[in-house]
Amino acid sequence: MGIRFVLMVNKQGQTRLAQYYEYLNLEERRALEGEIVRKCLARNEQQCSFVEHRNYKVVYRRYASLFFLVGVDNEEKLSALHQLCNNLDLPIYNKSGEGFNHQLIHPKVEAGLPNELAILEFIHLLVETMDRHFGNVCELDIMFHLEKAHFMLEEMVMNGCIVETSKSNILAPIQLMDKA
Amino acid sequence: MAGPSLMDSLFQRSVDDIIKGIRLTPPGTESTFIAKSLDEIRREIKSTDPQTKATALHKLTYLHSLHGADMSWAAFHSVELSSSSAHSHKRIAFLAASLSFNPSTTEVILLLTHQLRKDLSSSNVHEVSLALSTLSSICNPDLARDLTPELFTLLSSSKIVVRKKAIAAVLRVFEQYPDAVRVCFKRVVENLENGDMGVLSAVVGLFCELTEKDPKSYLPLAPEFYKILVDCRNNWVLIKVLKIFAKLAPLEPRLGKRVVEPICEHMGRTGAKSLAFECVRTIVTSLSDYDSSVKLAIGKLREFLLDDDPNLKYLGLQALAIVARTNIWAVLENKELVVKALSDVDVNIKLEALRLVMCMVSEDNVMEICRILISQALKSDPEFCNEILDFILLTCGRNFYEVIFDFDWYVSFLGEMARIPHCQKGSEIESQLVDIGMRVKDARPQLVHVARDLVIDPALLGNPFIHGVLAAAAWVSGEYIELSRNPFEIMEALLQPRTSLLTPSVRAVYIQSAFKVIIFCLNSYLKLNGNDPSYPSESTYSDLKSDYPGRFETVASQPLSDTEPDNPNMVVTDGQKPSVSSRMHHLTLESLVALVNLVETNLGPLAGSNEVEVQERASNVLGLIKLIKPKLLGCLDTREGDKVNGEPKASEMVELIFGAFSEDLGPVSLNAQERVPVPDGLVLKEDLRDLEEICGDIELPLSTSFSLVKLQKMDATSNSEHHSKEEFEPSTESTSLLAEHRKRHGLYYLPAENAGIISNDYPPAHDPKDKASDETEDLVKLTEQSLVIKKKPNQAKSRPVVVKLDDGEGFKVAAKAPEFKADLISGAVQEVLLGNEATSSSRRKSSKKSSKRREMDESNVGVPESKNEIVNADMSEIGFPSSGRRKHHGHGKERKHRSSGKDKEHDHKDKQKSEHGHGKHKSRQRADGALAAQSPVIPDFLL
């Protein structure tokens, strides 16, 4: 369940934080952010929090004016799809070049898919942690303390794996830095 | 550019200033502001004052990460700042590095090696963890190789924070530098028994990632994972352990038996939806043989489906799709919930539901499900409507229409789908219509009927999305014209003025079909009039009637004049109305002349068309008419007075062309070409370059004869399938060529009389044909029997046979290329887990060399020379069915070390397994061996 990126985006679609766990160049990042944000912002409260985009499964959650998006590897599914598509001789993408070819009736979904609910919990934990640190966290806190938000993420996620889930452990080094 | 001045340092803008500045700039001018700021930064970053430098880098990082400013040029400055003694500067430097460096191209990363090594060995926890985070985000093979010793030390650090991060970083290092596995893996495994949740979470997370790539190598660690599964109460850790077992359980049946119980326990106990869902998913993906637990899981899934939370509903549907592969009853049980989800507000949920609905399709319910879906499609927005159509077409067409029993229904349904206003699936419907026409003989009458309705409707011509469908309909109408109730009507439809809206390639199909129709009519007329004594009058039609009973029952044919009120060309036919709409046996000379006139008037202008394809085909038809018409008119005048003079020639020609068209086109195997044996004396691979020198002058005229028109035409024909199918030139020469071709390669076509055979054995190229058909006849009997058994008793009609070819069509098995890096990792992992790990650092130094040697050694693994148990293990590894050759990486090398290191290794094992003990470790090894060797002695896998 490797996390591939964490994005924070406001309602206007402006990125407020972008952390990638695999290297993408600037154009790729911009395109990815644009597409995903457009997809997620178009959805409403009654719709589920999961969106599939290319080889990512995006889990998102909205807090006030800020959207938290986490992109998780959907590689497993993708490669299984690839194989299936090869077998059936189908193009994996639609003609529009976007998204999966939903023609596939039996996607070979395997274990190793991300646990979407756990990612949602992770997002909530992240928000709670920031809330504890900034006190009633809002978009501006993240804007003006971007590096701190990054440090928190750094404590929580390494290499796309969630390594720390205790709020006080996450915040300890940051509080030390603030004192210094 | 001027260097940074003191003023710059003193009045440097802070990050906050930049952020405020961007917020204050009027929209649209941000880029100028950013460009200006970047200029400032470029100056400031060269400052010798670390504070100024740090602020500049900080600002740059901000602009890079949120506003897409390029900062690759500042890579060196990050490196520079990383050696600052102030921790805050160091953090900024490393943050900049991890956000902007490209591990594979940023060259200055190597300059960080020393600094990272220093920080990794630092006594300050924060420095170490910062270095570890940075390492995991910018690691490349060189960095991984150089820093492995430090990482190895940190893996057993007494500080929990450090140890945890070291474990997380190690995954990246393994990926970049597989030889590190030999050094670090044992320490990583030791951490599986750590009591700290942070460490445990990290190490389980690491294995979760590793097992995903190659689960087999980690099977020996199953007891440790099992212990965590039973003892641990942390949901994060449990979810990951479940993921590991989901991978391992399918490999080892006894493992499934052990874990299924604790997993069910977790599922019943936990209140966390995420853990419950993971349990469900593990059971349905990997433990689907355990009925009772699957039932429990389905019960849980149902809770999800009934929940109001769209997230749970979505995941529930997704899990149900996994279940569908093994336990379709579970889907059927929740049918009403799935169908309800089809009208959900969320398109993602709708798609999952759609997928599930299509899983349920069988030959008994396909009609009902399609009816539900079509009514759903009519209600939906265009996008989802097309998704539904896509699904229907794919499901129904799957595996040669295996779920379709009633093809009459299906072809009508295809026609219906084409008429849905939002339909954009024309090309798929097109290919299925043609495909069914060729494969399913019994469906042709209905197909012709459906095609007629499509071709005749002038409204459809305006919709470019279904031009493909119309092309198919026109082709069907022409190809199977003998089944048509009224060829005259078809002809009028094919020539209606709105066909000018069609694309040239489709229009060409229309003209070619018109050609076939006119040939058919002429030929019928000739036969009717007893031109040939062997054809009694109307014989064709009585034959047809007996072939297709019911076809000639009266169905009111739509008067065409209504649809084309303002067409001057139709005047002729309007006059002929009564004869046109009457049955074929009223075929008179007059009506025939009217028909020919109609074609001539309509196609005449097209002979000058710019489109090659259209122009050529129109010319073909016109050429024929030119030949035929005088004879016809002559006939009309003299009333069969002296037909002996004129007619035979024309009729002969008509018959020949008719013969060319009437030959059934069967589907051709994709491999057919390959199966044609190369004739003796034909050299395919000869180098023809010398030829140019020898006969360069002879070649010239040849190349000029290749006109542009020809080339274009060839392109156009390769564009569309049907063109090539009907590309036979209507000259007598090509007919004879074709006949000869068929005679020679007859067995690559499905002979008409055998067209109904579902044959699994493609007749081999050199087999005598009659023998093959004998075999296939037997097969027909077999399939008929099996169909009867399968068929429900209330099924009135038997399923028409669908012509299938064997291997040739569709299924190309994708060669699976294993990931090389992962290979190396698992190779190393197995080496370590099998107890012949390399621990000494001296080994590591030589490892780069040895990794090369390993590959060479692979070739001579086969000669085991030492202890039996290890050899067994080796062999068993080789014996694993799909493990392939990669398994024995490095064993050859190991043997060289074994004799000296043997005792030491056992000591290691003893230490390593302080609790579970050495004996178990060994027994596990043996278990591996025994399993693969199918030995009856199977020690308990999990004690």
**Closest Cα in chain A, distance from residue B234 (Å):** 10
**Closest Cα in chain B, distance from residue A89 (Å):** 7
- Sign of the alpha-carbon torsion through B121, B126, B127, B131: positive
| Whole-number Å distance between alpha carbons of B574 and B594 | 10
| Whole-number Å distance between alpha carbons of B499 and B462 | 9
**Is residue B317 within 8 Å of B353, Cβ to Cβ?**
yes
What is the average pLDDT across B474-485? Answer: 89
When CB atoms are compared, the residue of B68, B236, B391 closest to A105 is: B391
Between chains, do B246 and A143 touch, taking CB under 8 Å as contact? no
pLDDT in tens, B181-228: 988 999 999 999 888 888 898 899 999 988 888 888 899 999 999 999
Residue A113, chain B, CB below 8 Å: the answer is yes
Q: Which residues of B touch A163 (CB under 8 A)?
A: 164-165, 168, 198, 201-202, 205
pLDDT in tens, A101-136: 333 333 334 445 678 899 999 999 999 999 999 998
Pick from B167, B193, B161: nearest CA to B180:
B167
Predicted pLDDT of residue B835: 60
Q: Which residues of A touch B171 (CB under 8 A)?
A: 159, 161
Q: What is the mean pLDDT of chain B?
A: 73
- Specify the higher pLDDT residue, B428 or B928: B428
Predicted pLDDT of residue A79: 42
Q: How many residues does chain A have?
A: 180
Q: Which residues of A touch B286 (CB under 8 A)?
A: 111
ipTM for the complex shown: 0.84
**Is residue B273 within 8 Å of A138, Cβ to Cβ?**
no
Between chains, do B209 and A180 touch, taking CB under 8 Å as contact? no
**Closest Cα in chain B, distance from residue A154 (Å):** 7
Best mutation target among A79, A125, A159, A162 (most B Cβ atoms within 10 Å) is A159
Q: Which residues of B touch A159 (CB under 8 A)?
A: 136-137, 168-169, 171-172
Between chains, do B285 and A111 touch, taking CB under 8 Å as contact? yes
pLDDT in tens, B115-155: 999 999 999 998 999 999 999 999 999 999 999 999 999 99
Residue A132, chain B, CB below 8 Å: the answer is no
Predicted pLDDT of residue B264: 94
pLDDT in tens, A88-97: 444 433 333 3
Q: Where in chain A is the domain with CATH 3.30.450.60?
A: 3-74+114-179
Q: Which residues of A touch B346 (CB under 8 A)?
A: 43, 46-48
Please say if the pLDDT value at position B542 is more than 70: no
Q: What is the mean pLDDT of chain A?
A: 79
For B740, other C-beta atoms within 10 Å of its C-beta total 10
Q: Which residues of A touch B58 (CB under 8 A)?
A: 147
Predicted pLDDT of residue A134: 93
Pick from B537, B542, B633: nearest CA to B590:
B633
Cβ pairs bridging A and B (under 8 Å): 188
Please say if the pLDDT value at position B912 is more than 50: no
When CB atoms are compared, the residue of B92, B281, B286 closest to A147 is: B92
Q: How far is CA B229 from the centre of its chain?
A: 36
Residue A46: closest CA among chain B residues belongs to which residue? B310
**Is residue B273 within 8 Å of A117, Cβ to Cβ?**
yes
Report CA-CA distances (Å) from B725 to B176, B493, B622, B663, B754: 54, 22, 21, 12, 20
DSSP alpha helix (H) spans, B381-528: 382-401, 407-418, 426-439, 444-456, 467-479, 487-494, 504-528
When CB atoms are compared, the residue of A143, A159, A173 closest to B172 is: A159
**Is residue B222 within 8 Å of B252, Cβ to Cβ?**
yes
- Specify the higher pLDDT residue, B28 or B180: B180
| Whole-number Å distance between alpha carbons of B862 and B874 | 10
Least confident of B75-89, B620-634, B770-784: B770-784
pLDDT class of B680 with cuts at 50, 70, 90:
confident
CB contact burial B473-488 (16+ within 10 A = b; e otherwise): bbbbbbbbbbbbbbbb
Please say if the pLDDT value at position B556 is more than 60: no
Which fold does the domain A3-74+114-179 belong to in CATH?
A: Beta-Lactamase (3.30.450)
Between chains, do B274 and A115 touch, taking CB under 8 Å as contact? yes
For B244, other C-beta atoms within 10 Å of its C-beta total 26
Q: Helix, strand, or coil here: B448?
A: helix
| Whole-number Å distance between alpha carbons of B76 and B80 | 6
Between chains, do B311 and A16 touch, taking CB under 8 Å as contact? no
- Helical (H) or strand (E) element with A51: strand A50-53
Residue A177, chain B, CB below 8 Å: the answer is yes
Between chains, do B102 and A23 touch, taking CB under 8 Å as contact? yes
| Beta-sheet strands, E only, within B89-243 | none
Burial of B231 (C-beta count, 10 Å sphere; 0-12/13-18/19+): exposed
Pick from B317, B293, B296, B295: nearest CA to B306:
B317
Please say if the pLDDT value at position B389 is more than 60: yes
Between chains, do B325 and A106 touch, taking CB under 8 Å as contact? yes
pLDDT class of A159 with cuts at 50, 70, 90:
confident
Q: Which residues of B touch A115 (CB under 8 A)?
A: 239, 243, 274, 277-278, 281
The vertex-A121 CA angle with A118 and A126, nearest 5°, equals 130
Please say if the pLDDT value at position B498 is more than 50: yes
| Whole-number Å distance between alpha carbons of B941 and B921 | 10
Residue B139: closest CA among chain A residues belongs to which residue? A159
Predicted pLDDT of residue B561: 36
Least confident of B82-91, B430-439, B641-650, B733-742: B641-650
- CB half-sphere exposure, B415, CA atoms < 13 A: 21
**Is residue B499 within 8 Å of B470, Cβ to Cβ?**
no
Between chains, do A111 and B136 touch, taking CB under 8 Å as contact? no
Pick from B255, B264, B175: nearest CA to B220:
B255
- C-alpha Rg value of chain A to the nearest Å: 18
Q: How far is CA B899 from the centre of its chain?
A: 51
How are strands ordered across the β-sheet holding A66-73? A15-20, A3-10, A66-73, A56-63, A50-53
When CB atoms are compared, the residue of A86, A103, A161 closest to B812 is: A86
pLDDT class of B665 with cuts at 50, 70, 90:
low
